[in-house]
Structure formats: C-alpha cells, structure tokens
Amino acid sequence: MCVSTGKMITQKAKYALRALTVLAEAADGEPVMISDIAAQQKIPKKFLEQILLDLKHQGIVSSRRGKQGGYLLLKPADMITFGEVLRIIDGPIAPLPCLSITAYRKCDDCDGEQNCEIRHVFAKVADATRKVLFSTTIADAIAPAKIAQVTRMLA
C-alpha cells in the first residue's frame, strides 16, 4: 500500500474478498462456479479467474472440474484473514517500505529511520492496521449478514 497514491486496497483485492465471502456462504463442500460468483458480485469473469488462480496457488481455495465443478474454500472461513488475502493479492500491507514485514526496503530519501517523524507515526498506523486485518476473518465478514438473515426468518 503506497501512501502517495492514497489507495488502501486495490479493486483486485476487493474482488478477492467478495469472492471468498461467496465461497464461505456456500453449502459445505459445494463448489461454486466462477460464472455464478462473477454474476452475483459483478466481477469480470476473466479477472475473477486470475484472482481465484492466485488464491489457489496460495492454498486458500481449490477447484473441481466437471459438471459439478467450481471453486471452494480449502480451509475454513474463520481461518482466512483479510490480512492474508490482501498480502497475497496486493503484496506488502505497510504504508511505507521501511515498515514492511515481508518486503522491507529503506526509503529512498531516508536520513535515518530512528529520527524519521513520518515513520514513527506510520508505524502506529501499520501496527493498528495489521492488528485489525490479521484478526478479522472471512467468517467475521459474513457473520452480520447471517445474523440478519436468521432474524428475518424468525420474524
């Protein structure tokens, strides 16, 4: 995530998270076809194919071929964090390269990290962001919708 762009999450990452919520809401062990996910979430099918392939290579989803084929979660939704998905899709989560855990690099204009006022502030931002992203799962994201659905059914 680059501070200079002001963009916190790419469209690709949003699509990945939305696709994973669809898979998490599917019946246990039931694959969901790419075309169904694409239509439901309004994601371009070709783009979704690439996203799901990336997630498959990282062990988040698996695919089944054939008439009853499609994609399904490879691990439980409560074991897939937003942080994990963002890191797979968008790369480092840190707002500055000198704060990255997975892709550390000294800033080009750095006179010294210990004296950098900007780094001190964004270190707090990075810590808070990581805490939220790596403690929030796909299951957490769909829980409010499930609660609302059950409430409507009981009313």
Give, for all 155 residues of the chain, the pLDDT tens digit: 333 334 478 999 999 999 999 999 997 778 999 999 999 999 999 999 999 999 999 999 999 888 778 999 999 999 999 999 999 999 888 888 888 888 888 888 888 888 888 888 989 999 999 999 999 999 999 986 655 555 555 65
Q: Are 61 and 23 in contact (CB under 8 A)?
A: yes
Tell the residue number behind the tokens 């808070």, with chain if given.
128
Q: Which fold has domain 3-154?
A: Arc Repressor Mutant, subunit A (1.10.10)
- Residue 129 host element (H or E): helix 117-133
Give the distance from CA 44 to its chain's centroid.
Answer: 17
